[in-house]
Structure 1
Amino acid sequence: MKSAIFRPLLEIAAVLFLVLGAARWVTGLFSKRTHVYQTTAARQMRLLFWPLLALGAGLSVVPAVAMGGEPAASTFVWLLTAGFVLFTLLLSGPALLLHLRYWTLNHETTLVFQPANNLLEVYEAGQRVAFERRDLARIERVTCRARRSFWARYDYLRLHLQDGRTVVLTSLLTDLEPLATFLRNVPTERRAVAWCWG
C-alpha cells in the first residue's frame, strides 16, 4: 500500500527534476551573463541541496518507524532511529546554521561586480555603500578547510575600509574567488577554518 502511494510521487519528482534541469541548461545557453548578484532562490538551493536531502532522509525514518507494521516498535528500533536522525542532524545542521547566518548578513545585499569595466559596488537595502577600491585598508578571505563537508562551499570576504567600516560578502551572493582575485592588490589575509562563521 505504501509503495503504491510513494512510487508515483517519486517518479513525478524525478521527471520534474530532469525537466527543470534541462530548462535551466537551455536558458543558460541563451542568457546574458549577469553582473548583479543577490541572494536568489537558485543560489540558495544550490548550497542547500545536500544538507536538506540529508535532513529529509533522517527525518523520513521517524514516520516509517511510527507507522510500521509492528504494533509497537521496540526500544532498540527507536534507539536506532534516534541515532540515525542525530547523525543526519550532525551532517546537515552546521550547513543550515551557516546558511541562516549568511542569509541574515546578505539578504538585503546586492553586489554589482564587473571586472572588465573595473566596477565593484555594494548596496545594502537599496542604498549604495560608498567606497572605492582605494578606500579598502585590508581584506579577510575566509574559506572552509573541511572540503568534504556539507558546509564546505560556505565562505566569506570581509572588506575593511579605511574609515573603520566593514562590508561582509558571503558565498550566498556568488562565488567569491573572482572578487578576491579582482582585489589582489589590496592587502589580503587568507584563512582556512573548519567552519566559516561570518
Structure 2
Amino acid sequence: MKSSFLRPLLEVAVVLLVVLGAARWVTGLFSKRTYVHRITAARQLRLLFWPLLAFGAGLSVLPATALGGSHTTAYEWLLACGFFLFTLVLSGPALLLFLRYWALNHATVLVFNPADNQFEVYEAGQRIAFERRDLARVERVTCSARRTFWAKYDYLTLHLADGRSLVLTSLLTDLEPLTVFLRNLPTDRPTKTWCWV
C-alpha cells in the first residue's frame, strides 16, 4: 500500500522536474544576459542538491528501521544510526554554509556589468555608497577541499578605505568574474577547508 502511494508521487515529481528544467533551458535561449545578481531558487538548488540528497538518504533509514518494530536488532539500529551520522558529516557543513550565506546575502543585490564598468551593491533596496576608488583591498576566499559538498561555497570580502567591509557570497553569483574585474586592487586569495564567514 505504501509503495502504491509513493510511486505516483515520485513519477509526478520527476515529470515536474523535467518540465521545469526544459522550460528553464528554452527561456534561457531567448533571454538576454542579466547583470543583476540576487539569490535565486536555481542557484540555491544548484548548491543544495547533493547535500540535501545525501541528508535525505541518511534520514530515510531511521524511519525504515523504526518500522521494523520489535524485530529490529541493536546491530541494525547501530548501522542505521551510523549511516545517518555519516551522511550528516558529509552534508552538514554544506547545509550550515548555505544558511550562513543566505543570512548574509538574502537582502543583497549585486549589479555587475564589466563592459559598462558598473559595479553596485544594494542592501535591502538601498545602494551602499562606495566607488571603485573607495576599495582598499579585496579578499577572495576559496575552498581547498575540492571533492566535498561544500567546495562551491566561497566568498569575496570588499574592504573599504573607511573601515567598512562588504561580503558577497557564492550564493549570489559566480565570484571569479568579479575578482577579475577588481584585479587592479590588492587582493588576498586565502584558501580554507571550510569557507565560514
The answer, yes or no, to whether TM exceeds 0.5 is yes
Supply the distance in 1 between the matched residues of 2:181 and 2:111 (Cα, whole angstroms).
Answer: 13
Q: Does 1:8 align with 2:2?
A: no
Cα RMSD after superposing both structures: 1.1
Q: Which residue of 1 aligns with 2:64?
A: 64
Shift of 1:32: 1.6
Give CA deviations for 1:70-124 in whole Å, capped at 9, x if unaligned: 6431111010000010001001100010011111111111100000000000011
Q: Which residue of 2 aligns with 1:100?
A: 99
Which residues of structure 2 form unaligned runs of 5+? none
Supply the distance in 2 between the matched residues of 1:110 and 1:15 (Cα, whole angstroms).
Answer: 33
Tell me which amino acid in the other structure corresponds to 2:33: R
Q: Which residue of 1 aligns with 2:33?
A: 33
Shift of 1:7: 2.1
Q: How many residues align?
A: 197
- What percentage of aligned pairs have identical amino acids? 73
Q: Which residue of 2 aligns with 1:197?
A: 196
Give CA deviations for 1:10-64 in whole Å, capped at 9, x if unaligned: 2222211111111111111011211111112221111111111111111111111
Q: Which residue of 1 aligns with 2:77?
A: 78
- TM-score under structure 1 length normalisation: 0.96
Q: Which residue of 2 aligns with 1:49?
A: 49
Secondary structure at 2:184 match in 1: coil
Supply the distance in 1 between the matched residues of 2:41 and 2:13 (Cα, whole angstroms).
Answer: 19
Tell me which amino acid in the other structure corresponds to 2:24: R
Which residues of structure 1 form unaligned runs of 5+? none
Supply the distance in 2 between the matched residues of 1:20 and 1:127 (Cα, whole angstroms).
Answer: 33
Give CA deviations for 1:138-168 in whole Å, capped at 9, x if unaligned: 0000000011100000000000011111010
Q: Which residue of 1 aligns with 2:23?
A: 23
